[in-house]
Amino acid sequence: MAVIRMLYAGANYHPHDWPRERWQHDIDLMREASFTIVRLGHLCWDSFEPSEGNYTFAWFDEVMTLFHQAGIQVVLDIATRPAPTWLHRKYPEISLSAPSGLRMEAQTRYMEDVGHPTFQEYAYDFARKLVMRYRHHPALYAFGLCNELGSGAPSYSNAARDRFEVWLRNKYATVEQLNEAWTAQRWSRKLNSFSDVVLPISGQVKGAPERLLDMARFYSDETLAYMQGLSDIVRELAPDVRETTNHWSENPGYGFDYLKQYREMIDLPGIGFYPGTNPEDKQALTAACFFMDHRIGELDRPIWCLEFQTGDFGGYASPPGAMRMYAYLSLIHRAQAVCAWTWRTMLGGEEQYVFGLVDHDGIPGWKYDEFARIAQEFKRLQDLDMPRKTNPDIAIAYSFETLKVMAGNPSYYKTDYTGQVLQAYSALEQSNLDCNIVNLRSLHQNYKVIIVPGHAIMDEESAATLRAFVEQGGTVIMTAYSAKVTANNRVFDTTLPGGLSDVFGIRCGAFVRTRSHTPWENAGGLEKTELGLEREKPVIVMDSENIQPDIDYYEILEPRTASVIASFSNTRESSPAVTCNKYGQGQAIYVALPANTTFLSALLHRLYPTLGIVKGPATPSGVVARHLDNTNTLYVNTTGKLQTVPLQETAMGMLSGQTITSELKLEPYDAEIIQFISN
């Protein structure tokens, strides 16, 4: 029976990289550092199966036993990527093909076509062997469903094209429906049969937006199906063992629609937590936290940081203390485990200069001591109600399909989608408020507010969700660029915002570029010069306050049944900046500018009291805090400066052991849990 601990700290370890006589020494160092978890087995399929059907598990049996004897539990990755060289050699068709159609040699990781049936046959067979071998091992805590699915690239092979054709047949049934969905009459590109289908990328040339979106959905569905297959194997053969994975669904170049299927295949959400080695990069720090909340979705389960930043490519470390700060920041965002990437810096391969806790020569550096402090403090927190549980009043809608839609037409969608989502998320972070990241096609919990930032695609299911939410008393806040295209990535031929104009009570037609516009496409055959002109600098007047967000686009709203609650000034013509429409028992608020933290913060602060939403602990900028329960509050200073937090009561610092009277002083990158002392 596995030892139950509330919080875990440990590392990723690659025993196949190091001599056998080194294993015990490394494990002793981990045990001395109070590590309670280790992640093993990833990226090394051919160390278990060096040739087809030739399994060599004995060496790994010894590794598992050594960790069990040390009292360290194991997350065992099912390492089906990268595929071994012998499999690529036997079946070259499983290798990726470039957009040119040229087959690429498997020279680095993630060079296999995960949708190819032959790859899946061998990968699933290996997965079954591994799961059956270790499912009852006393060191085992969980299986990992491969490594970083969603990273790498799709394959543009003939085999992938054939599978795409089958996928389209299942989706559209007739070629007439496909032609309609793809606007195929444009530029004489009608299909006479499904066999005319080609992948809409050929070399550097990309096809129409409707086709590109369906191609992204196809590759996404293949990745989801593959991950589901791994999950099914674990649940069938090891039903009592937990499962997790550090996929990369948000990858802008590949990725997959995680929220479409996550509830069926994820037990413990997992992530690689990589905010970078520069904590001053607040967008990267915010994105790392947002991705954690995205992976959790509406599962109400803790997340495991299966990889956790210790160094970077060519960067030895974050500033001293920042790694510990990252650990406590991850606890705020519902983490249960942090596994350093990596234990020892590799001597060779593509990551030979990604620096770990132990240096190239095997000697621990100061980072080892800092991570040991994390592990030891985590042990001291076992009596607290950790990992955190939340019941957010606010949700942010996220759409993988919008990510693809906006990336595919950058001449119009000039503010990238992920950036807009992070702007909205940052507005909540500044108020120390939790939120869930949700799929509008399938909502599972109750919220007071749903924020819809730049949600370009508005399919019928998502529109129905928002309509019902507002009818039943909810508040929706939608920002510009939203509800522009249908599920087929065609612009609505009805009044915008598409499918919801009556809910928002507006017509959204014209828009203004506040800076000179240069399209990506070369219209008219003449190269255009980006002049960098700033034609307008809009000011928003709301409740007699003037707010000037940094924006390059705004929409001209025509209220129908909506009221105007903020207007633009300093523009060619005054127009509504924010409208609010009463619909059913709720309200639909439309913001005529792209999601912007400065403005959304001001708008939300006005709404919180009327919606019964209580902001989190008050903190200086850069200090993140959450209440753990009625008496304990966790504060994390994400800045490199001393920060002071005023307190109303005397408190005890649970990490420092100090009594704190009128103010909490947080050193750079420091964290503290304060417990108020009853009078």
The Cα angle at residue 493 between residues 487 and 498, in degrees rounded to 5? 55
- pLDDT > 60? residue 5: no
The Cα angle at residue 97 between residues 96 and 101, in degrees rounded to 5? 170
**H helices present in 365-459, as ranges:** 366-380, 400-407, 417-430
The fraction of the chain above a pLDDT of 70, given in percent, is 99
For 384-398, how does the pLDDT look when each residue is reduced to its tens digit (9 = 90+)?
Answer: 889 999 999 999 999
203-207, 210-214, 268-272, 575-579: least confidently modelled range: 203-207
Which pLDDT belongs to residue 519? 84
Helix (H, G, I), strand (E, B) or coil at 89: helix
In the chain the domains, ranked by start, together with CATH numbers, are 394-521+529-611 (3.40.50.880), 623-676 (2.60.40.1180)
The fraction of the chain above a pLDDT of 90, given in percent, is 93
Here the contacts of 279-287 (C-beta below 8 Å, separation 24 or greater) are 279/318, 279/319, 279/322, 279/325, 279/326, 279/638, 279/639, 279/640, 279/669, 280/640, 282/638, 283/419, 283/422, 285/329, 285/638, 286/422, 286/425, 286/426, 286/429, 287/418, 287/422
Cβ burial, residue 3 (10 Å; 0-12/13-18/19+): exposed
- Give the relative orientation of helices 597-611 and 417-430 as an angle to the nearest 10 degrees: 50
For 312-361, how does the pLDDT look when each residue is reduced to its tens digit (9 = 90+)?
Answer: 999 999 999 999 999 999 999 999 999 999 999 999 999 999 999 999 99
Which pLDDT belongs to residue 676? 87
303-309 and 394-397 strand pairing: unpaired
Cβ proximity of 102 and 85 under 8 Å: no
Cβ proximity of 606 and 540 under 8 Å: no
Average pLDDT (283-303) is: 97
Predicted confidence band of residue 2 (pLDDT cuts 50, 70, 90): very low
For 494-539, how does the pLDDT look when each residue is reduced to its tens digit (9 = 90+)?
Answer: 999 999 999 999 999 999 999 988 887 777 777 788 888 889 999 9
Give the mean pLDDT of the chain.
Answer: 96
**115, 407, 594 from 317: Cα distances, Å:** 37, 33, 35
Residue scoring higher pLDDT (221 or 649): 221
Which pLDDT belongs to residue 221? 98
Predicted confidence band of residue 677 (pLDDT cuts 50, 70, 90): confident
Q: Which of 460, 366, 407, 433 is nearest to 213 (CA)?
A: 407
Tell me how far apart the alpha carbons of residues 492 and 21 are, in angstroms, rounded to a whole number: 66
